[in-house]
Amino acid sequence: MDIPLLFAAAFAGFIYGITPGPGVLAVLGIGADRGRRSATAFLAGHLAGDVLWSTLALVSLVGVTTVGSLVFDLLGGVSGIYLFWLGWRAVRVQRSAAGDAITVTARRPFLHGLAFGLTNPKAYPVAVATLTALLSAKAGLLTWAMLPTLVGVTCIGGISAYLILIGLVGAAAVRQAYRRHEILITRASGVMFIGFACHAILHAVPGLMAARRA
């Protein structure tokens, strides 16, 4: 098993879990409103969605890799463009006129997190794009036999991100600080996404150019 590949998969899971988005905002609101225990229950439920979407994303990546490098290069290029679009939107984000604080009501945080994670329509494309960007350099090593291990280390990366979030939530000061610097944090995440996009595109272009010349 290639150790750098495992680290890349774990890092992809970490980025997928820690990047500011609806789930992060929700857990910050729940933690500030109901405490760290409720936030932990929410993330435990949300983890089911992360496992599902990450597994489907990895199945897609391994599948296209076994079909041929050209298909993976095409997926890498599309994923890079998608990540760049997400990053560009984040970099250009503006605070809404309302500027209201987030209010999250979760009487059953575990079930709320479960539903939240399983029904997020953006989860699968973001998982595919993130994993493609970070695993593109090792695309030739991906096999079906590695799938369970890749799913496992990706989940470990996501859980690591969740542990950091759990350590931060539960204090109103954290939620207030996040809201105060929300634009800056979102834009910084956008720059990071653009970096991943460039990485994915740079790895995809040589294969696509070679296929075009053939």
pLDDT in tens, 143-198: 889 999 999 999 999 999 999 888 888 666 776 776 677 788 778 878 887 887 88
Would you put residue 171 in left (φ > 0), alpha (ψ -120 to 50) or beta? beta
Residue 16 predicted with pLDDT over 80: yes
Which amino acid is present at 112?
H
CA distance 46 to 28: 14
Name the average pLDDT for the chain. Answer: 79
Residue 7 predicted with pLDDT over 80: yes
pTM of the model: 0.71
pLDDT value at residue 122: 66
pLDDT tens column, 70-112: 776 777 778 778 878 878 987 887 765 434 444 445 578 898 8
32-41 as b/e: b if 16+ CB within 10 A: bbbeeebbbb
User: Six-digit token pair at 56?
Assistant: 């489907």
- Residue spans per domain, the chain: 3-213
pLDDT value at residue 102: 40
Using pLDDT thresholds of 50, 70 and 90, give the confidence band for residue 36: confident
Residues listed for the chain: 214
